[in-house]
């Protein structure tokens, strides 16, 4: 089961089977978020972007996480860190 939402021009999918987030930008770049703590609303995460075979690292900060266990869906808001 995969959930999709739109946050800051990113399409975010959570794969329940692999237990990871798959984030796809409009330019078809993909990033994999290995772990996120739903109880920590101020966690910083590093995403690995694959663009034309080039691996780059981009840091994001999660501002808001909302979990609905009964609906098997999550929503989160990401913004690019100014590092």
What residues have CB less than 8 Å from 34, skipping those under 6 apart? 20
Q: What is the pLDDT of residues 1-36, one digit of tens each?
A: 333 333 444 445 555 555 555 554 443 334 434 344
- Model confidence pTM above 0.75: no
- The mean pLDDT value of the chain amounts to 45
Domains of the chain, by residue range, sit at: 2-80
In whole angstroms, what is the distance from residue 42 CA to residue 28 CA?
27
What residues have CB less than 8 Å from 54, skipping those under 6 apart? none
In whole angstroms, what is the distance from residue 66 CA to residue 37 CA?
11
- As given in the structure block, the two tokens for residue 46 are 């590093």
In whole angstroms, what is the distance from residue 38 CA to residue 40 CA?
6
């Amino acid at each position: 089961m995969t959930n999709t939402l739109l946050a800051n021009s990113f399409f975010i999918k959570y794969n329940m089977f692999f237990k990871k987030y798959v984030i796809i930008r409009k330019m078809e770049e993909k990033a994999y978020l290995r772990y996120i703590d739903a109880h920590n609303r101020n966690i910083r995460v590093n995403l690995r972007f694959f663009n034309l075979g080039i691996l780059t690292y981009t840091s994001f900060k999660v501002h808001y996480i909302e979990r609905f266990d009964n609906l098997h869906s999550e929503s989160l808001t990401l913004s690019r860190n100014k590092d």
